[in-house]
Amino acid sequence: MEKNKSIGAKFKEFALSTLAVNNRKTVYLVLVILLIGGISSYQNMSREAFPEIQIPEIYVNAAYPGNSPEIVRDKIIKPLEKELNTIPGIDEIKSTAMQDFAVLNIKFDFSVSPDDAKDLVEEAYNDAKTDKSFAKDLPFPPTIAQMDITNMPIINLNLSGDFPVQYLNDKAEYLEDLIEAIPEISGVEIRGVQDRKLKIEVNKFKAEAAKVSFQDIENAIQNDNLMMGAGNMSIDGIDHFVVIDGKLNSIDKLKQLVVKHEDYDDVFLHEVADISFGDTDTTSFARQSDNPVVMIDIKKRSGSNVINAIDQVKVVIQEAVEDGVLDGINYTYTNDQSNKIRSQVSNLENSIIFGVILVVAVLLFFLGLRNALFVGVAIPLSMFMSFMLLHNFGVTLNIMVLFSLVLALGMLVDNGIVVVENIYRLMDEEGMDSFDAAKKGVGEVAWPIIASTATTLAVFIPLALWPGIMGEFMQYLPITLMIVLGSSLFIALV
């Protein structure tokens, strides 16, 4: 008893470690929670090739047909630049004046969110419109869009076969509704199909003979191509809303449209004009192996799991095939991001597993089997705790995170080595039992390993504060290292 008292007076304890040793069952429960929670978090973490970065970069496109670059510059770009220069947080403005068109690229500081940047540019445009030098005869307002690198397709579905393009487009639109119903999908875009437009070619001589003007034709189409409400009608005590559908939904109806009524004589549209359907100007081509296809671009929702999203898309397409929706139609997938991400993640996962084996082998060589096993336990426990924290912080499992985990493998066992060695030293040299040795051994080295970990983490703080797009990309490395090393410190002390 006297010996234990003298030992207790000689060595100090660390409160957290003493609490853990005195409440071993609670610690076992915490370890089980870390094990289950870590595995669950790892499986549920979104996987992608690179981190999602929100870039505060805005593009303004303004069409001004029939005007030279000089006029476009003076009437659109200069007034808009004048207002943009009053906005704080803008790093760079690039403007290009072309024949009939103006393009502005506005880059903001990363302290400004993309949504706020877009709002600021829209306000600047509204202010620029009040300038007397700004063009008053723009055919339509400029398009103001923000750069979104997450708005790129994650997979393309291609439809082809011995069918008219319009038939393939109908099938693509049907699949579009099914795919957009998937929670992980933000939008679908169909390419390779030219929109159809109605063409009305007025015969000048026939129109003049019938005394019909262009305004008569325009007014007739506008007035007759209407859908309007006609009030309510009560039937058996139930109110029904009455709608008069006057939409011109076929060429035959349009041909029989009366464009002028005079002296009990009706002039029909087909008498003064040729009416036909035709393709609009070509805006996109989609070809595969030199054959035309209808391509469906599928885009994921920000923050969603790319692999899960693509798997869900393939399930929906397979169900449509089984239902006979795509009978006779060949369908293929291109630009499948899940294959690339699976390969990259798998390679880095193998590197982590191989690294763990090498670390344990080195520990076994220098520390012996007993110490190596106890120190080796800290590796998976620290990893599982890190996965829980990363998942709760909304971090995705990407190349930067996995690369950081590989870097952290060698460092996260440092604290465990010091603690385990000191505990067994006290057991061998001081004759302490395992419980007292754990309390006193950790207490003796607790503050030194906390200081050591803190100095290591302090080195990565400037990297986490790196400004610009590189900083946004690289910040995942120091954040992951800080979480992993912090987790290893907690595991070593507990």
pLDDT in tens, 443-484: 888 888 888 888 888 888 888 888 777 777 788 888 888 888
What is the distance of C-alpha 290 from the center of its chain? 32
Question: Is residue 158 scored above 70 in pLDDT?
Answer: yes
Per-residue confidence (pLDDT) for residue 285, from 0 to 100: 60
Per-residue confidence (pLDDT) for residue 470, from 0 to 100: 79
Per-residue confidence (pLDDT) for residue 241, from 0 to 100: 67
Neighbours of 134 (CB within 10 A): 19
3-state secondary structure of 108: strand
**Rounded CA gap, 11 and 427, in Å?**
13
pLDDT in tens, 164-183: 778 888 888 889 889 988 88
Mean pLDDT to the nearest integer, 281-297: 69
Q: Which carries the bigger pLDDT value, residue 71 or residue 218?
A: 71
Per-residue confidence (pLDDT) for residue 244, from 0 to 100: 65
3-state secondary structure of 58: strand
Q: Is 347 exposed, middle or buried (0-12, 13-18, 19+ CB in 10 A)?
A: exposed
Q: How far does the chain reach from its first CA to its final CA, in angstroms? A: 27
pLDDT band of residue 1 (cuts 50, 70, 90) is: very low
pLDDT in tens, 51-90: 777 788 889 998 888 888 888 898 888 988 888 888 888 8
Mean pLDDT to the nearest integer, 101-106: 90
3-state secondary structure of 23: coil
Question: Is residue 30 scored above 80 in pLDDT?
Answer: yes
Mean pLDDT to the nearest integer, 274-288: 64
Alpha helices in 45-103 (DSSP H): 69-72, 78-84
Reading the block at residue 254, the tokens are 């349009």
Per-residue confidence (pLDDT) for residue 2, from 0 to 100: 47
Question: Is residue 279 scored above 70 in pLDDT?
Answer: no
Residues 105, 61: contact at Cβ < 8 Å? no
What is the distance of C-alpha 456 from the center of its chain? 32
pLDDT band of residue 228 (cuts 50, 70, 90) is: low
Question: What's the whole-number average pLDDT of the chain?
Answer: 81
3-state secondary structure of 91: strand
Lowest mean pLDDT among 5-9, 103-107, 460-464: 5-9
**Rounded CA gap, 74 and 128, in Å?**
12
Mean pLDDT to the nearest integer, 94-119: 88
**Residue positions counted in the chain:** 494
Residues 449, 492: contact at Cβ < 8 Å? yes
| Beta carbons within 8 Å of 199's beta carbon, 6+ residues apart | 275, 276, 277, 278
Per-residue confidence (pLDDT) for residue 278, from 0 to 100: 64
| Beta carbons within 8 Å of 240's beta carbon, 6+ residues apart | 232, 233, 234
**Rounded CA gap, 42 and 45, in Å?**
5
Convert 206-252 into a string of H (helix), E (strand) and C (coil). Answer: HHHHCCCCHHHHHHHHHHHCEEEEEEEEEECCEEEEEEEEECCCCHH
Q: Which carries the bigger pLDDT value, residue 310 or residue 251?
A: 310
